[in-house]
């Protein structure tokens, strides 16, 4: 099992990973329009971290958009395939994504609109409903999304999230 950092750089390999990831996310978020998921996952400004099984199957992933000047990233999607949920993959996935976001994108915070059923998961990953990021750094930069709870996670500059 590997955690693979993927962005749409036009290479056939990354394209293939992103298409597989988009399909995995769509299955887990049936209420989200497929076209919307495809658009964001394939968008060149977004980055993804995919969980890839030995067989090459994408078991889940996180897609986020870094706002470099603002220092934060917005997590658009986070999903683990149904068969593999509650086995700890979601936690490992988030830890790898934090490491990537810190090292490659120099982000200090993640923001996300968590679905109500996923608030518990995000809380366990260090997300809070209290937003400490200065309002002027994020208001107007991320899209307001009805039916979700805005949550924030501070990315520690030193903590080894992954071993
Ligand atoms: N509610 C409350 N707690 C949860 C939930 C949940 N829905 N899902 C997992 N947890 C808890 C687990 O019990 C576990 O707790 P523990 O550490 O005390 O044992 C901890 O969170 C981590 O669990 P993992 O096994 O690492 O998480 P998992 O691999 O199941 O992934 C995820 C969690 C991504 C939410 C998965 O269940 C999923 O894909 N769900 C369907 C799609 C979804 O709702 N995605 C989030 C939408 S919001 C967004 O994308 C911005």
Specify if 80 maps to a domain: yes
Q: With a 6 A CB cut-off, is 26 part of the ligand 1 pocket?
A: no
The string of pLDDT tens digits covering residues 11-39 is: 999 999 999 999 999 999 999 999 999 99
Report the residue count for the chain.
163
Q: What is the whole-number distance in angstroms between the Cα of residue 122 and the centre of ligand 1?
A: 7
Which pLDDT does position 54 carry in this prediction? 97
Number of domains forming the structure of the chain: 1
Model confidence at 113: pLDDT above 90:
yes
ipTM over 0.90: yes
Q: Is residue 161 part of a domain?
A: no
| Look-up of token digits 């509650």 | 86
Strand 58-67 to strand 148-154: parallel, antiparallel, or no bridges (unpaired)?
unpaired
Which is nearest to 118 in space by CA: 143, 86, 140? 86
| pLDDT surpasses 80 at 144 | no
- What is the CB neighbour count within 10 angstroms for residue 162? 11
CATH code: domain of residue 21? 3.40.630.30
Q: What is the CA radius of gyration of the chain?
A: 15
Q: Considering the chain, what is the average pLDDT of its residues?
A: 96
Q: What is the pLDDT of residues 84-106, one digit of tens each?
A: 999 999 999 999 999 999 999 99
Query: Mutate which of 59, 76, 83, 86 to test ligand 1's pocket (most atoms within 8 Å of Cβ)?
Result: 86
Q: Which atom of ligand 1 is nearest to the CA of 114?
A: 48
Asked whether residue 44 is assigned to any structural domain, the reply reads yes
DSSP helix/strand/coil, 147: coil
Q: Which domain holds residue 125?
A: 2-154
Active site residues: 74
């Amino acid at each position: 099992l590997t955690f693979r950092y993927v962005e749409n750089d036009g290479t056939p390999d990354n394209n293939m990973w992103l298409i597989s990831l988009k399909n995995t996310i769509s299955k887990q978020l049936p209420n989200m329009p497929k076209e919307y998921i495809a658009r964001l996952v394939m968008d060149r400004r977004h980055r993804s971290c995919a969980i890839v099984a030995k067989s090459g199957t994408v078991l889940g992933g996180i897609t986020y958009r870094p706002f470099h000047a603002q220092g934060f990233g917005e997590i658009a999607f986070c999903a683990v395939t149904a068969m593999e949920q509650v086995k700890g993959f979601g936690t490992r996935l988030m830890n790898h994504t934090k490491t990537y976001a810190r090292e490659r994108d120099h982000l200090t915070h993640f923001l996300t609109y968590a679905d109500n059923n996923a608030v518990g998961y995000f809380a366990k990953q260090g997300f809070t409903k209290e937003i400490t990021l200065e309002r002027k750094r994020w208001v107007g930069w991320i899209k307001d999304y009805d039916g979700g709870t805005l949550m924030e996670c501070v990315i520690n500059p030193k903590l080894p999230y992954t071993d």
